[in-house]
Structure 1
Amino acid sequence: MNFKPSFTLFKKQNSVSYLTFLFFFCVGFVTVFAQSKTDQLEIVSQATKSGFPLIQNGKVPSILIDKSDAEVVNLVAKAVAADFKLISGTESKIIHQIQNDDYLIIAGTIGKSKVIDELIKAGKIDVSAVQNKWESYCISTVNAPMSGVKQALIIAGSDRRGTAYGLFEISKKSGVSPWVYWADVKPKQQKELYVLPGRFVSKEPSVKYRGIFINDEDWGLHPWAAKNMDTDIKDIGPKTYAKVFELLLRLKANLIWPAMHDSTKAFWFYKQNPVVADRYAIVIGSTHCDMMLRSNTFEWQHNFENEYGRKPGEYRYDTNKSEVYQYWEDRVNEAKNYESMYTVGMRGVRDGEITGPTTKEGKINLVENIIGDQRSLFTKYFGAPTNALQIFCPYKEVLDLYKGGLKVPDDVTLVWTDDNFGYIRQLSNTEEQKRSGSSGIYYHLSYLGGPHDYTWLSTNSPSLVSYEMTKAYQFGADKFWVVNVGDIKPAELETQFFLDMAWDAKKWTPENAIQYVQHWATETFGAAFANEIAAIKNQYYQLAQDGKPEHMGMLHFDAEAKNKRLAAYVDLVTKVDKLKKRIPEYLKSAYFELIEYPAKGAALMNQKFFYAQMSLEVAETNKKLALDYSQKAKNALEQIISLTHHYNKEIENGKWDGIITHAPRNLETYAMPKIANPEILSDSLRNPQPFDRRYIEKVITTIEAANSDNLISLNASSYKNKLDIASEKIITVDGLGLNGESISRFPFTGKSFKNDEYTKAPYVEYIVNLKAGEYDLSLKSLPTKTINNERKLNFAVVINQQVPQFVDADTSKKDKNWTLSVVRGYVDKKIKFNIDKEGQTTIRIYLQDTGLALSQIDINKL
């Protein structure tokens, strides 16, 4: 690096030149610190006074970085230079010493970049707001920062990731989507772009470690990577991960749980994988069942003999301690020089219970001993157990052990989980919130398991994610968030929302999360299309709330509900096709991947099942109509297959060949259901292969439309009166629950009221006219869980000042009620009441606990 501070760049030939320099330096100093701090970096397409030209007359500035800075800075600088080429046609040069450029982008890490440190020393930039902060950055426009440079755009990062995020912020604000590669969101061509003058200072992220879990990759990411990326190893390897890691940095994430399914060799098997992670400054972790950075499915079951020259014994610590301990120690030794995070404890080889003692007490004692031994390894390799990042994930049966008294060291981060369907099982209580290790969340946007997979499309709405993750953050889960994204595609929008929340947990609250899609669509497709895209995606989410596309074979809708749903999907597809005509050519692939395929796929899955069912219903009475329905069901499946073929083979010249299948795991739900006229089926639709029925439960339920003469159905948000209490309120959450609205208490940290103090709780009140008689009152709410063991999930219902009836809406217990609730999207709790005299009836519902999301109230005369 040949940079020298400004005051040495001037040759002190005489007193005049020196005084000139002093004047220039002082003016520059005043200019920098007179600039106001802005809330956000602003880039415009018209020249402005003092604006920094990112693109001007086809020219783009060079990017100056220090060779001694972290490698990720160089990698991201190159990516940003390539981004500028996409926008302007000209790629920025990456330089390592000052040239006589009028305009220059300077990027570096405080304390690691000589040029940044000298600019700080010379008073040209103020980094006090980010210095020594976590993953923060400031971006400043500075006039005459050094001799020969007229103006500079300076990105100073508090650490290596902060610098990377700051550089990518320039790209994003210039119109380059984080999904420029992964969803072909090409930027709009620009002839002029200017950064408005000022100083933008980023906040520290709300959550310290934020990332994704690539999972169940057998049917998408793995075949695609093997065919198109890591063709030499025919697996998910360093070339694929380089693209993944760049995406994570663009999304301001910093952590990976690598792919670990049956089809994929372990992340650490390919020695370049951790090297690439380090180059991109990505923290390497491992799943809830793969302890100590080991991937047991491959490394214990399949590769142990290659690694150790002998077959392994049983993956069981109480009888095979020395072998398991050595297996873990070897990985700690290998990983000690990488930024890593260790999952402690023990489960089965894959996603199963620990092998060992049969009693809960025995298992608890064994796991506590295991954690103690694991931490002895951290002492050996890191000097102290607290010097290694550690998480403990009470997932599935491990939560029962933790509730049973299993002790976890205070510095280990507790990672709470959802129930695999988006509803968090438990959060930290008062004492747990005091832990030095804090807590975190493992969340699902995709899941393989009972009662049924949902690995094809991504349908968990921003409103649901915000509701659950805001709850988590308010109860102290600020250390670690990781989300299961399956194959990454097609969960792009939902993944970005989760990570945007992890960066700023207070920006997208349950009250405004419904607006996120419009915000995202504006950034991704432009303001001209944002309203229509928001309408499409929010309708798509709402329809899936009542039944995910993958679950349509488990639910039965009555005729009225079926027709309403079919009409809604026709409307959805009509909107998609209408807007598609106006989408510019350069965004057509992105529109197909992000909007068209999921919307049409969901619509066609509903049509396939409904028309098949309707064909059977009329088979005996109207054979012509039965044939018509059978043909429509067949056509729906053929269109799903055709759309998937287009995705894999035709868009972007076959770039995504293998990335998606219409039938993950070859489950029965993706095949042709029984129809009245099976002879119309071609061989390709008969699907003779055996179906994988693991993790599938039958759900016997009928979804009825609210059309009964005896039924009064109220949206929970249509209350006549409500009572808030000090420091909290009852809010309406759009896009959540039945009919797209739910009410809830906010914030979630409000008091939990016992039954004997229910009158102190916030309430809502409904007024209806009822005849005398006996009634059922049905309270339909989101299938959420009790927040922690200090709370419940109770309503108190008072009708016409009668004796209160208390309702427990908790779905923590995984039973048939939970299965039914998560598949149909609500829990239904009923009480009975009598009306003695016809007239106005007042129904008052006290929300005794936070975390209750009430959507609908049905009153049915018996």
Structure 2
Amino acid sequence: MKWSKLFLLAGLILFLISGQIWAQKGVLTVTETNSQLAFPVVDAGKAASIYIDGKDAEVVAIAAEAFKGDIHLLTGLSPEVLKNSPSLSTYPIIIGTLGQSAYIDQLAKTGKINESVLRGKWETFCISVIENPFKGVKKALVIAGSDRRGTAFGIFELSRNFGVSPLCWWADVKPARKKNLYVQAAQSLVQSPSVRYRGIFINDEDWGIQPWAARMMDTDVKDIGPKTYTKIFELLLRLKANYIWPGMHPSTKAFYHYANNPVMADKYAIVLGSSHCEPMLRNNVFEWAENFEHEYGKKPGEWRYDLNKNEIEKYWTDRVVQAKNYESVYTVGMRGIHDGSMPGPKDKNEKVKLLGEVIADQRTILSKNITQPVNSIPQIFCPYKEVLSLYQAGLKLPDDVTIVWADDNHGYIRQLSDPEEQKRPGGSGVYYHISYWGAPQDYLWLSSISPSLISYELTKAYQYKANRLWVINVGDIKPAEMETQFAMDLAWDIDQWKPEKAWQYAESWAAETFGTEFAKPIANIKAVYYRLGHEAKPEHMGSVSFTSEQAEERLAAYAKIYAEARALNDKIPARLKDAYFELILYPVQGAMLMNQKILYAQKSLALAANGDQAALDYAQKAKAAFEEIQLITKKYNEEIAGGKWNGMMSWKPRDLAVFKMPKVAESVAPVGTTKATVETENKTIIRASQYLEKSAPKGLTLQSIKGLGMGGDGISCYPFTSKPVADNALQNAAYAVYQVDFKTIGQHQVTVKCLPTQGVNKDVKVRYAISVNNDQPQIVNISPASENNIWKQNVLQGYATGLTRYEITKTGKSTVKIYLLDPGLVINQLEIK
């Protein structure tokens, strides 16, 4: 009793001091040192036993077994996992779901845990150390969930705090061994998610996860099957994610084709969905175009709802009947069999009318086959590509359907909910790419979209109430592990990695993944990697032009971070060598080699044209880079982690021209040894964050954001929900002032380079106003009217351009003043010429 009172007093004092007991943002302290108030998870060669209720959800037992494995990874000891034990040990770990676990319900009944933080909540968990929870029990470590996923997330959150990375299996991140393991008492951690459904889309899997799964995982079906998905589902739980769009390319059979796939999803409590072009959980590429005759005994009719309604309705109904007992989110609407526009009338108004009929009929199917009101069945509508124009043309969408806004496939969201749409009970979400196959160029090989850009766009979306569902196109998962983890961390806690803080994620992640000793060096490497990738992704090097000076800067920057990464590799512990190669060394070296291959080839041709013998040296360097890409990819597949990832990494997805060996100088014209032409431009470059002064009206903030856009930073106006400033009301706008030293009088031009964002909704542009020496400001809109050639160039080069001209009448110091007029505008750089 005495210790219990002391414990309660200590807890009360901590609550009054820090507000962390039962707080939404509590702190969990894990140590290797024992103390009077600590719970011994592993102590003196013994691991605490784990207790669960056998009637709890299957995912709780699955997560508990994984937790047992994590403790073994950390300490070499394996705790017992006991179900429905009539008695508890002196120091038990108790895991369970409120309303599903007798242990948790009893603790709630006696007031040992505060059930109000869990009751009726979505995916919420509480981790606490409790003194004398039951008779004969001195102290218990309790993980309680509001529902089955909340409990699982609590388990894996504790694992993560112990030092087990969510990427422990997927990137071979082996934790450091610990002799003892304690959780500090009197600090309860309570968490719940910012975004309701959070998950990934496995896509464009033909050159990575599908051949790997066929070769290394589901060898019986030679496809992405239950064994592969089991590993994917565990990854999602470790990332505190709950949702998936399964792989659906022609290389992959439908998710439902393998009976155990949905069964395993349910066991792992993962919510099933389907992509923007797969209505009603059907995979049309396989199930309509290829397997229909096998399923129905006849060939399918035309994929046109206006001509073949009955057959298509039955096809959808059969899947709903099959899926009704699983937790799912149904995609409504209709597109082509694969990723194309919906077949039907040529007239847009008639097509809009037909799409409305499709959605109404799909909802009738749901209401007839699922025993709950149709407005409570989770449904999404994704206005992707041409579907956005149909929605904008007047499609009447039921209010309870969630609108999942899409980006432009290159990381810039096309549209978000306006004030009226924000009132819809179905709310909205985001479909976002960090991997892509399509125009103007793919980026399927390496992952190079920065946390700063991901945070900027998704935080903006969240402020426009897009908090119902986020799905991230992650391609093959590898090598986008860090970016995927960041997106899921952000979806769980929207405030943890705001755009102005997101540049710090690489250091935090590296500390968690590789240890604090390596965190800053890895973060510095990643910062340069992301900057260079923003200005031209490795896969886009064949489509972006650089001056000789810019090319040299890129080559030098890549060489520097590769040298740093290689030097760091010598210091990385042996247990993390494979992880380091997968997560850091391969992408850095691969990006460097791609730049060397293309830029050295270009230089060889330029030098050869001037008769310079050095052309042949550069030609050889380009060829060596080309061969090295293949060698390091072979190492990834065949050597790393003992060949575990054989088939996962391709150095030439879709065999595109950019991956091939470019033309190089084979000989030198006999015209002497003149130097190669070097382009020079007499211009002054000013980074947008290097302003002389700034100002913002009340309620607005002019924010510098590191790691965002070309040059490595940008400025933007907060909040994202601020109203556009009228052209004739610039006094209401935030602005920045820059100082420029004009060397000559006459005409000069000012180029403003901005992040190629798009207007937050159909009524908003992306404008700035600019004046020189306080002359009449000029208004510039940098967002293209549609996905035209300007847009294509913008997303490849990583910036949109505004251009204004001025007649300068005196030399010397002048001022340039830029007003930010629309939310979502990011200014990166000024170039004065």
What is the TM-score with the length of structure 1 in the denominator? 0.92
2:67 match = 80
Please report how far the alpha carbon of residue 544 of structure 1 lies from its aligned counterpart in structure 2 after TM superposition: 0.6
1:793 is aligned to 2:771: no
1:725 match = 697
Tell me the distance in 1 between the aligned counterparts of 2:34 and 2:187: 18
Map Cα deviations across residues 563-584 of structure 1 (whole Å, 9 max, x no partner).
Answer: 1111111101111011111100
| Aligned residues of 1:224 and 1:657 also touching (Cα < 8 A) | yes
| Aligned residues of 1:165 and 1:249 also touching (Cα < 8 A) | yes
Map Cα deviations across residues 10-39 of structure 1 (whole Å, 9 max, x no partner).
Answer: xxxxxxxxxx8xx89888877777764352
What is the aligned counterpart of 1:59 among 24, 46, 52?
46
Please report how far the alpha carbon of residue 800 of structure 1 lies from its aligned counterpart in structure 2 after TM superposition: 1.8
Which SS does the other structure have where 2:681 is aligned?
coil
What is the aligned counterpart of 1:670 among 634, 647, 659?
659
1:584 is aligned to 2:573: yes
Matching residue's letter, 1:85: H
1:225 is aligned to 2:199: no
Please report how far the alpha carbon of residue 99 of structure 1 lies from its aligned counterpart in structure 2 after TM superposition: 4.3
1:323 match = 311
2:671 match = none
2:686 match = 714
Tell me the distance in 1 between the aligned counterparts of 2:230 and 2:93: 24
Which SS does the other structure have where 2:588 is aligned?
helix
1:439 match = 428
Tell me the distance in 1 between the aligned counterparts of 2:573 and 2:798: 37
| Aligned residues of 2:608 and 2:667 also touching (Cα < 8 A) | no
User: Which stretch shows the higher mean deviation, 58-67 or 588-597?
Assistant: 58-67
1:125 match = 113
Tell me the distance in 2 between the aligned counterparts of 1:790 and 1:295: 35
1:691 match = none
2:352 match = 364
| Aligned residues of 1:715 and 1:855 also touching (Cα < 8 A) | yes
Which SS does the other structure have where 1:302 is aligned?
coil
Tell me the distance in 2 between the aligned counterparts of 1:607 and 1:757: 49
Which SS does the other structure have where 2:715 is aligned?
strand
What is the aligned counterpart of 2:328 among 340, 343, 349?
340
Please report how far the alpha carbon of residue 198 of structure 1 lies from its aligned counterpart in structure 2 after TM superposition: 1.9
Describe how 1:196-235 pairs up with structure 2 within 5 A.
196-235=184-223
Tell me the distance in 2 between the aligned counterparts of 1:196 and 1:302: 57
Describe how 1:253-292 pairs up with structure 2 within 5 A.
253-292=241-280
Any gaps of 5 or more consecutive residues in structure 1?
A: 1-19, 680-703
Map Cα deviations across residues 579-619 of structure 1 (whole Å, 9 max, x no partner).
Answer: 11110000000000000000000000000001111121222
| Aligned residues of 2:37 and 2:186 also touching (Cα < 8 A) | no
Tell me the distance in 2 between the aligned counterparts of 1:613 and 1:666: 21
1:687 match = none
Tell me the distance in 2 between the aligned counterparts of 1:571 and 1:811: 36
1:747 is aligned to 2:715: no
| Aligned residues of 2:98 and 2:118 also touching (Cα < 8 A) | no
1:601 match = 590
Matching residue's letter, 1:836: T
Please report how far the alpha carbon of residue 674 of structure 1 lies from its aligned counterpart in structure 2 after TM superposition: 0.9
Which SS does the other structure have where 1:556 is aligned?
coil
Tell me the distance in 2 between the aligned counterparts of 1:607 and 1:563: 10
Tell me the distance in 1 between the aligned counterparts of 2:4 and 2:184: 22
1:68 match = 55
| Aligned residues of 2:67 and 2:156 also touching (Cα < 8 A) | yes
Which SS does the other structure have where 1:755 is aligned?
coil
2:228 match = 240
1:389 match = 378
Tell me the distance in 2 between the aligned counterparts of 1:767 and 1:188: 52
Tell me the distance in 2 between the aligned counterparts of 1:677 and 1:81: 61
Matching residue's letter, 2:812: G
Tell me the distance in 2 between the aligned counterparts of 1:793 and 1:555: 24
Tell me the distance in 2 between the aligned counterparts of 1:404 and 1:736: 34
Map Cα deviations across residues 807-838 of structure 1 (whole Å, 9 max, x no partner).
Answer: 00113511111011100000111011111223
What is the aligned counterpart of 1:849 among 816, 822, 825?
822
| Aligned residues of 1:391 and 1:413 also touching (Cα < 8 A) | yes
1:760 match = 732
Matching residue's letter, 1:547: A
1:8 match = none
Please report how far the alpha carbon of residue 678 of structure 1 lies from its aligned counterpart in structure 2 after TM superposition: 9.4
Please report how far the alpha carbon of residue 705 of structure 1 lies from its aligned counterpart in structure 2 after TM superposition: 10
Please report how far the alpha carbon of residue 677 of structure 1 lies from its aligned counterpart in structure 2 after TM superposition: 2.6
Map Cα deviations across residues 371-426 of structure 1 (whole Å, 9 max, x no partner).
Answer: 00001012112343213110000000000011111111000000001000000000
1:3 match = none
What is the TM-score with the length of structure 2 in the denominator? 0.96
Map Cα deviations across residues 234-255 of structure 1 (whole Å, 9 max, x no partner).
Answer: 1101110010000000000000
Which SS does the other structure have where 2:495 is aligned?
coil
| Aligned residues of 1:140 and 1:154 also touching (Cα < 8 A) | yes
1:399 match = 388
Tell me the distance in 2 between the aligned counterparts of 1:522 and 1:812: 43
Tell me the distance in 2 between the aligned counterparts of 1:834 and 1:759: 25
| Aligned residues of 1:442 and 1:484 also touching (Cα < 8 A) | yes
1:49 match = 36
Matching residue's letter, 1:571: K
What is the aligned counterpart of 1:565 among 529, 549, 554?
554
Which SS does the other structure have where 2:115 is aligned?
coil
Map Cα deviations across residues 479-505 of structure 1 (whole Å, 9 max, x no partner).
Answer: 000000000000000001111110011
Tell me the distance in 1 between the aligned counterparts of 2:161 and 2:11: 22
Tell me the distance in 1 between the aligned counterparts of 2:87 and 2:46: 16
Please report how far the alpha carbon of residue 623 of structure 1 lies from its aligned counterpart in structure 2 after TM superposition: 6.2
Tell me the distance in 2 between the aligned counterparts of 1:148 and 1:267: 49
1:685 match = none
Please report how far the alpha carbon of residue 455 of structure 1 lies from its aligned counterpart in structure 2 after TM superposition: 0.3
1:473 is aligned to 2:445: no
User: Which stretch shows the higher mean deviation, 622-631 or 421-430?
Assistant: 622-631
Matching residue's letter, 2:287: E
Tell me the distance in 2 between the aligned counterparts of 1:527 and 1:123: 39
Matching residue's letter, 1:746: Y
| Aligned residues of 2:273 and 2:328 also touching (Cα < 8 A) | yes
| Aligned residues of 2:433 and 2:472 also touching (Cα < 8 A) | yes
Please report how far the alpha carbon of residue 720 of structure 1 lies from its aligned counterpart in structure 2 after TM superposition: 0.9
Tell me the distance in 1 between the aligned counterparts of 2:302 and 2:152: 44
User: Which stretch shows the higher mean deviation, 827-836 or 103-112?
Assistant: 827-836
| Aligned residues of 2:230 and 2:264 also touching (Cα < 8 A) | yes
Tell me the distance in 2 between the aligned counterparts of 1:766 and 1:626: 42
Please report how far the alpha carbon of residue 202 of structure 1 lies from its aligned counterpart in structure 2 after TM superposition: 2.4
RMSD: 1.8
Tell me the distance in 2 between the aligned counterparts of 1:280 and 1:30: 40
Map Cα deviations across residues 335-367 of structure 1 (whole Å, 9 max, x no partner).
Answer: 110000001010000000000100110110000
Map Cα deviations across residues 497-520 of structure 1 (whole Å, 9 max, x no partner).
Answer: 111110011211111110010011
1:159 match = 147
**Counterparts in 2 of 1:332 and 1:100: CA distance versus 1, 3 Å:** closer
Matching residue's letter, 1:629: Y
| Aligned residues of 1:425 and 1:812 also touching (Cα < 8 A) | no
| Aligned residues of 2:29 and 2:187 also touching (Cα < 8 A) | no
1:350 is aligned to 2:333: no
2:796 match = 823
Tell me the distance in 2 between the aligned counterparts of 1:777 and 1:843: 9
Matching residue's letter, 1:780: K
Matching residue's letter, 1:837: K
Tell me the distance in 1 between the aligned counterparts of 2:459 and 2:52: 38
1:835 match = 808
**Counterparts in 2 of 1:600 and 1:24: CA distance versus 1, 3 Å:** closer
1:701 match = none
User: Which stretch shows the higher mean deviation, 545-554 or 26-35?
Assistant: 26-35
Tell me the distance in 1 between the aligned counterparts of 2:500 and 2:7: 44
User: Which stretch shows the higher mean deviation, 131-140 or 275-284?
Assistant: 131-140
The count of aligned residue pairs is 814
Tell me the distance in 2 between the aligned counterparts of 1:31 and 1:118: 23
Map Cα deviations across residues 440-460 of structure 1 (whole Å, 9 max, x no partner).
Answer: 000000000011100000000
Tell me the distance in 1 between the aligned counterparts of 2:70 and 2:667: 53
Tell me the distance in 2 between the aligned counterparts of 1:724 and 1:582: 47
1:497 match = 486
Map Cα deviations across residues 286-320 of structure 1 (whole Å, 9 max, x no partner).
Answer: 00000000000000011100110000011110000
Which SS does the other structure have where 1:778 is aligned?
strand
Please report how far the alpha carbon of residue 621 of structure 1 lies from its aligned counterpart in structure 2 after TM superposition: 4.2
